[in-house]
Amino acid sequence: MILINFKTYEESQGKRALALARAAEKVGKEYGVCIAVAPQHVDIPLIAKNRSVPVFAQHVDPEMPGSHTGHITPESVVEAGACGSIINHSERRLRADVIEEIVGRCGSLKLITCVCANTSRVGKALAALSPEMIAVEPPELIGSGISVSKAKPEVITDSVRMIRAVNPKIKVLCGAGITKGEDVAAALRLGSEGILVASGIVKAKDPEAVLRDFAEHMRR
Ligand code: G3P
């Protein structure tokens, strides 16, 4: 799986978010690879209504529907058309008890959970919460263009080993600095089942071409 986090880049909001989602859908179908997108919350309905691509939220809060202000409930992202959510991204960190609550809330709504971890040890600890996916990303490599699979391969191998020992059903993704197909191939060789990526796609001159390069290396 390739999960593209649109973050808050201007290149991936509004109409540009829709265009990126179109490229993800096209390349995903062409190569038979699951390519999901995580736009800003306000762009979820636009993409979910117009494209046939799995849409994730970038974050959800644990609050129940009701008297709360400025929160994003899991119910609201389901209704907007999302099928999953990133939780605890390095740029949106949460306390462990809050992550547990959110994973539980998402589970009851059948919202797929992709919990992020900054190290393999944190990944192991979060595996106890049984999310569907754990994405391990060394924060110092995020947005650096230096790929985790090249600069810190042990983060991937350790994470896969440690997370699987706790719960073998969890899919382990990795991310940070991935910009080339060969980074993707290396990530898979090291045992991960997919990648979480942002700038390598969003900031690329030709995002569709880069996605195609990723998908080709994923199929090999
Ligand atoms: O969520 C994806 C992420 O944090 C990696 O970012 O820009 O290094 O692909 P980037």
Tens-digit pLDDT profile for the chain (220 aa)?
999 999 999 999 999 999 999 999 999 999 999 999 999 999 999 999 999 999 999 999 999 999 999 999 999 999 999 999 999 999 999 999 999 999 999 999 999 999 999 999 999 999 999 999 999 999 999 999 999 999 999 999 999 999 999 999 999 999 999 999 999 999 999 999 999 999 999 999 999 999 999 999 997 6
Q: Angle 207-219/181-189 helices, nearest 10 degrees?
A: 30
Asked if 89 is an active-site residue, the reply is: yes
CA atoms of 218 and 157, how far apart (whole Å): 18
How far is residue 183's CA from residue 185's CA, in Å, rounded to a whole number?
Answer: 5
Mutating to test ligand 1, I would choose from 2, 5, 178 the residue with most ligand atoms within 8 A of its C-beta, which is 5
Rounded Cα–Cα distance for residues 158 and 140 (Å): 18
CATH number of the domain where residue 29 is located: 3.20.20.70
Residue type, 37: V
Beta bridge partners of 3: 36, 196
- In this structure, are residues 115 and 96 in contact, taking their beta carbons and an 8 Å threshold? no
- CB-based contacts of 118: which residues, under 8 Å, 6+ apart? 90, 136, 137, 138, 139
C-beta 200 within 6 A of ligand 1: yes
Cβ atoms within 10 A of the Cβ of 128, count? 10
* Six-digit token string for 58: 């970038």
pTM above 0.95, yes or no: yes
Q: Based on the structure, what is the number of domains in the chain?
A: 1
- SS3 annotation, the chain: CEEEECCCCHHHCCHHHHHHHHHHHHHHHHHCCCEEEECCHHHHHHHHHHCCCCEEECCCCCCCCCCCCCCCCHHHHHHHCCCEEEECCCCCCCCHHHHHHHHHHHHHCCCEEEEEECCHHHHHHHHCCCCCEEEECCHHHCCCCCCHHHHCHHHHHHHHHHHHHHCCCCEEEEECCCCCHHHHHHHHHCCCCEEEECHHHHCCCCHHHHHHHHHHHHHC
Host domain of residue 101: 2-219
Ligand 1 pocket test, pick from 2, 4, 37, 137 with the greatest ligand atom count within 8 Å of Cβ, gives 137
* Ligand 1 binding pocket includes 195 (Cβ within 6 Å): no
